[in-house]
Structure 1
């Protein structure tokens, strides 16, 4: 089955295009010789310590014979005679394995340890060290995660090579071999070093030595770097490569200077990731939140609030905000109304208290990974008046937990009776769209067409419309295929899949050559299954190129169960039952609890081999996910036939 699966995947995908050869990475130690001040500020930062080798200088946990037990699993931590760090894990079904700690992730408020479960495969262990309370704790104490569960620490969702390493390393390449199901990953430097943001340094060293910069395939600036922070937008995009929830289109770190939307598909405001009003719900790493903010729209960038080398705020407490939000204003942002924001007349709380901190109301913090508080970067005005429709939390009752959102809305209305911040909000529309996209189709279409709204909001409205039984928006919103925002163009292409085939081809064909890669890929997806044999001339070449880019992006993520669901969908569109079955099979091999894949395998077995074959597949599925409601319902359907 494995060889058959690999053959089908390679047939569907082909091989990724060859990569450009950039200047070589030289390492942060080389940079320190000339850039001592920047290096001193970076050393010891969360970036520098994002991924380190284990040593007495980097490991802060107690490995001196300590242990931690949870839900039938026991982990014992010890120091080896050779100075190594070891974790002995006894799983709840009784198996015991000892692992040498391969490397260390992070420093505070928690530190995580990476274990090599087979050569080249690194997994992030779920028992971590609390650097503040000085204790071991489990990241998922309320979940039952036995071995074999897709969410167990040895499973695909805790794989470091695929899920984490790119943002914790410099010059990283995953290098997954789907035929062997193994990794040969490598990086220029573990940790987020100088070249992770500025680009490979070899050409810069040549420039510093007075040599001519030539012979490199990347587009370099005057001093030999592939990245310049000359504009606020370019800096935001560079930070966003890691500080965002996204889908990578390659198996390696993009070279700094590569526009964000050439390398990633940004996650939209989808349920489970964001609340309907755009507040962060899951770990979304701030970029998608920041894009919603008025600050982003007015030209504020990461460097206005954060020192890029220390990764710390540029001032303490409210002082970071009052650099702009003050009675004198800031000439860099002339549209900002000067006022005394750091006063009880504005925040109506006792000065000097936590409640009077700007972030308490405008950057609500939520805890992730057990003890890591992270702030929402949409910089929103508190809107408890939306809670009844959006079911989203609000800043007020996050603190005043004994009160209701209605109470909070009344207090704010009393404080700000003339406020213009209580009008219509996109959150109401998205909330209704999540509940019933067909009934909300008109409002979703209006929101998608509203150019005053953030692009990520408009794109989310388009995505929700894909599930609406409403043909009118498909035609009305075809003009958004020419929108300036690539997020909107890509989402508009997704909606056009619902258009009649001939109209869809005519609308989509021009975007096969779009300057932004995710848009070209979205156009290729929209063309899949179109009633055409061959397009004329340049259009056919553009289609083949866009299809190749889509195939290459999928080939770079063959270690993700989600990718195999996409491959299965492609195969079904192309009426390849064997390809779809192989892809669904690989998805459940990686994640045995993936019920959506199991359901399709049962249905395919019923269609091709009959009811008895379908029942055999269903029995297999129920052994992996015995309480899944979808599988149980499918079993009742088969029993009734």
Structure 2
């Protein structure tokens, strides 16, 4: 379970899941799943390797052989809650806080994982499987909490009983074989099914019934009797070439992505037909492309030179055991050696396992290839995962980007300048790689999209020598901030070979006039990749069908159906409900939008943007009372969240309720003393209630911060007039007239100026 909450923003019209059906080839029968035990009767060596692998341990029954944690009445305390782990009648139980915050006892339904930690699932009402935040540390033999510093108490959306920790919504597709979610939005319940509890043989090879028939018949086997199988009865994977096939096979579960449906697709299906890979932004990566959040390998690997040269997963990993194909540096030296390899001719033959290359004592940590080229980062507290970018260390670039540096991770007392000097001493001709991407991303993430940064992003996006994920990420950073000139300049990307780039480029047209948007995006409604079709449908969702050529209208209807199905598949996600609500807003279906955002706040009471959007819709529809009630509820569930208080204070003032607005506005300026807009609003509220002394105190603060700001002068004049200082008010009004001649004055001040 990834320890994070996905961020929500005002631009909630993002891509959700893409629900598409698996393409059916000719044939009369769909092969069924038979289970790994059947496979193992013939493939014994592979079965043995798999049986103790991470795949084999992905999900298991809670038996004495499988439960690795201490259930001998062990206890652990976290933030005032003492949890207890015990056995009774051969079953395993955990006593911990439930959804209501009270201690309750839960039976362990399944165990997850084998190393370096093991998690535990319990079944709650309505078939909901939930992953507890308490896990067993295999290496240190202890219970620990996955969120030691966060508020994940009962009532918080991140509590273990909530939607973010739901197994069926978040985890099952990659931990089970042929998983079918079967979520019921009406009851918030699940009737999930699967063909095999854990990640079995058929999770990668596909349903095996046809292959079993082949094994029995051999020469008499007719593949035409089954759908989409080869002459041995095995599923035909999509794609051309080993790298693409393996990327489609392994990538879906070893990547940070949004899935394209509720259930497991057939293994090896085109990635872009079922998943949308997350790009390098949103704090998932450091500006130089290093892993930051849990990104699960693929996004890092796609940036690497090794990927560019054709390296693929099984060059390094055994597909059945999941382990490495060799020990230590031997994994790397199978290619990086003095003789080279015929299948990777661009490699420079050399003795890489020598002090002349790594400049560290033989056998030391620094002499290990992975120490410099695959630095590890811990996730889930104890799970160290190596970066698959395979970078050459660059201390100065890491310093500029604010990224970790492999050298300084060991030499912690040294500086980036020292590390760079050492490298230059070893290799005087060492050249710094192009730093444009890292420096541009760092600048945009820190300061926003400047003209210079926009030019750099456009250059990265159109540089075909860069990886597709880097180019797509540059386009994503521009996003809907693109003006028509920028969108037109990058229009070529709508026809790029990479579906990831095409998806990103579609977003550039969000702010374009409807006619231009329709002209540019309508061809993509029939793109061969589902992710592209859905992205195009999203941006065209608020365009009337009659604005499209007749021959494109059916394509729009079909793509919109895919879009709605994809969002429906994520209806058990808070962020899925945000997407549903965003689409409803785009099509002016306000009732559906309200329902979706209400569902989002039910699933995650801390989803602030959903609360605010609900209130804004209610106010826009004229139901100000409902808007205030929504914000009062939101404020109770999110104490200290100033954006909610800001909205509530503004609505109360607009409804002539300054007495009720004052405590709300005080909370805002107390939490954010530099928020002059809200301090001005507070001052107006105090004036309206006749608290001139308090208003004067606020004006003193405002005058000190912005003595010449027009609105500050305005409230000063109002305060002076209300306090009886008419001469002072006239002087202030004259100053306003002189310095801000276009500022409209309220009648009582306008009269003074005459």
Normalised-by-shorter TM-score class: over 0.9
Partner in structure 1 of residue 489 of structure 2 = 476
Q: 1:6 aligns to what?
A: none
Q: TM-score, normalised to structure 1's length?
A: 0.94
Partner of 1:614: 627
Q: Cα distance, 1:18 vs. partner?
A: 6.9
Equivalent in the alignment of 1:336: 347
Note the 1:175-574 alignment, pairs <5 A: 175-210=182-217, 211-213=220-222, 218-228=227-237, 231-434=242-445, 435-439=447-451, 440-468=453-481, 470-533=483-546, 535-574=548-587
Does the Cα contact within 8 Å between 2:67 and 2:111 map onto a contact in 1? yes
Report the 3-state secondary structure (helix = DSSP H, G, I; strand = E; otherwise coil) of the residue aligned with 1:205: helix
Equivalent position of 2:695 in the other structure: none
Q: In 1, Cα distance between the equivalents of 2:511 and 2:547?
A: 21
Which digits, 9 at most, give the CA deviation of each residue in 1:111-154, with x for residues without a partner? 00001121411010111111111111111111121112111111
Q: In structure 2, what is the Cα distance between the partners aligned to 1:597 and 1:560?
A: 13
Q: Report which stretch shifted further, 137-146 or 104-113.
A: 137-146
Q: Structure 2: how far apart are the matches of 1:158 and 1:94?
A: 16
1:74 counterpart (71, 82, 86): 82
CA contact 1:478–1:496 (8 Å) conserved in 2: no
* 1:96 Cα offset (Å): 1.9
- Could you list the runs of 5+ residues in structure 2 that have no partner in the other structure? 1-15, 655-754
SS of the residue corresponding to residue 207 of structure 2 reads coil
- The structural deviation recorded for 1:228 is 4.8
The farther-off stretch of 85-94 and 152-161 is: 85-94
Show CA shifts across 1:519-573 (max 9, x none). Answer: 1111111212125426344311211111111111111110001111111111111
1:56 is matched with: 64
Contact 2:87 2:93 in 1 (8 A): yes
Mapped contact 2:537–2:560 kept (Cα < 8 A): yes
Q: Using the alignment, how far apart are the partners of 2:270 and 2:215 within structure 1? A: 26
Cross-structure match for 2:598: 585
CA distance in 1 between counterparts of 2:601 and 2:536 reads 29
> Which entry has the higher C-alpha Rg, 1 or 2?
2
C-alpha displacement of 1:608: 2.2
Distance 1:369 1:390, change over 3 A: same
State the SS of the aligned residue for 1:187: coil
Whole-angstrom CA distance in 2 between matches of 1:227 and 1:628: 52
Residue of structure 1 aligned with 2:35, choices 20, 27, 52: 27
Contact 2:94–2:106 (CA under 8 A) maintained in structure 1: yes
Contact 1:438 1:468 in 2 (8 A): no
Alignment partners' CA distance in 1, 2:141 and 2:319:
29
Q: Report the Cα distance in structure 1 between the residues aligned to 2:645 and 2:131, rounded to whole angstroms.
A: 33
2:177 partner SS:
strand
**SS of equivalent to 1:188:** coil
User: For residues 389-416 of structure 1, what are the alpha-carbon distances to aligned partners after superposition, in whole Å with 9 as ceiling and x for unaligned?
Assistant: 3222221222222233333233323332
SS at 2:82's partner residue? strand
| 2:138 counterpart of 1:127 | no
Structure 1 residue matching 2:588: 3-state secondary structure: coil
2:20 and 2:545 mapped to 1: Cα distance?
26
For residues 451 and 444 of structure 1, the distance between their equivalents in structure 2, rounded to whole angstroms, comes to 13
Q: Which moved more, 1:158-167 or 1:414-423?
A: 414-423
- Determine the C-alpha separation between the residues in 1 that align with 2:20 and 2:53: 36
Which deviations, in whole Å up to 9, do the C-alpha atoms of 1:232-266 show, x marking residues without a partner?
A: 32012201111011111111111123111111011
| Distance of aligned partners of 1:629 and 1:381 in 2 relative to their CA distance in 1, 3 Å threshold | farther
Deviation at 1:175, TM superposition (A): 1.1
| Higher deviation after alignment, 494-503 or 247-256 | 494-503
Determine helix, strand or coil for the equivalent of 1:141: coil
* Pairwise CA distance, 1:488: 0.4
Q: Which secondary structure state, in structure 2, belongs to the residue aligned with residue 98 of structure 1?
A: strand
Determine which of 145, 157, 170 is the counterpart of 1:150: 157
SS state of the match for residue 129, structure 1?
strand
CA contact 2:121–2:129 (8 Å) conserved in 1: yes
Of the structure 1 ranges 87-96 and 599-608, higher mean CA displacement relative to structure 2 is found in: 87-96
21-30 or 627-636, which moves further after superposition? 627-636
Q: Is the 8 A contact 1:466 1:498 kept in 2?
A: no
Q: Residue 107 of structure 2: which of 82, 97, 100 is its match? A: 100
Between Structure 1 and Structure 2, how many residues are aligned? Answer: 627
TM-score by length of 2: 0.80
Deviates more, 1:298-307 or 1:37-46: 37-46
Alpha-carbon contact 2:482-2:508 (below 8 Å) kept:
no
1:459 & 1:30 partners in 2: Cα distance? 43
Q: Does the CA contact (< 8 Å) of 2:108 and 2:122 recur in 1?
A: yes
Distance 1:501 1:319 in 2: 57
Q: Is the 8 Å Cα contact of residues 62 and 108 (structure 2) preserved in structure 1?
A: yes
Query: Residues 171-206 of structure 1, C-alpha deviation per residue, up to 9 Å, x if partnerless?
Result: 111111112211111110011110000000011111
Question: CA distance change for structure 1 residues 373 and 564 in 2, over 3 Å: closer, same or farther?
Answer: same
1:374 partner SS: strand
Describe the shift of the 1:173–1:380 C-alpha distance in structure 2 as closer, same or farther (beyond 3 A). same
Residues 474 and 498 in structure 1, CA contact (< 8 A), matched pair in contact too: no
Aligned twin of 1:37: 45
Rounded to whole Å, the distance in 2 between the matches of 1:609 and 1:188 is 51
Cα deviations by residue, 1:365-390 (Å, 9 ceiling, x for unpaired):
00011101000101111122123432
Structure 1 residues 51 and 118: CA distance shift in structure 2, 3 A: same
Closer, same or farther: CA 627–38 of 1 in aligned 2, 3 Å: same
Distance 1:321 1:16 in 2: 39
Give the Cα separation in 2 of the matches to 1:452 and 1:174: 41
Q: What's the Cα RMSD here?
A: 2.0
* DSSP 3-state at the match of 2:628: helix
